[in-house]
Chains A and B, each alone.
Chain A
Amino acid sequence: GESVGLHLPTLSVQEGDNSIINCAYSNSASDYFIWYKQESGKGPQFIIDIRSNMDKRQGQRVTVLLNKTVKHLSLQIAATQPGDSAVYFCAENMGGATNKLIFGTGTLLAVQP
């Protein structure tokens, strides 16, 4: 299958638990950050974003935290469901006129029923 030979960092959680996915970004000048969810065989799907003038933003069942001091981003998913199983990517916007995104390596979230 698609995951054969794939060695992504993996987070395994029980259904109903909260999940926390972490990401370290590289450029202290980045001013906009996005979390994407990629299910098997599909394109990355926008989940939530945050700008550098904020340190927390909440969506439906998801929260993104930004710590600019240590260049760290996290995605918290409340009451994780089987449908949350996917690869999650953080991305940083390098700023400027091009809207260029640099993606992290991805974390595989596996939800156990």
Chain B
Amino acid sequence: KAGVTQTPRYLIKTRGQQVTLSCSPISGHRSVSWYQQTPGQGLQFLFEYFSETQRNKGNFPGRFSGRQFSNSRSEMNVSTLELGDSALYLCASQTGGKATNEKLFFGSGTQLSVL
């Protein structure tokens, strides 16, 4: 079974631009979560989607948005990029229950650099 696939692996953008990242979950997984990893803040939860609906959201500004398609693939978008948005963006999938007793499977991430 293929793992979580994220594209692209690397991205370089300039301040003020917008960016779209893509994530394909493990086959059969209907929940997709997004995380931001930075050296200073560690891994921080952005949002979670299930059946094309956002079920959970972290404490990020509205410039960060996402969506999920009927095939469970997900995209996240960051508008008006700032230097501080430079980070590794990780996508994770799970079958769809609560995280309490269901582990997340992570992709390799998209490394975004904002210049």
Judge: A and B partners, yes or no: no
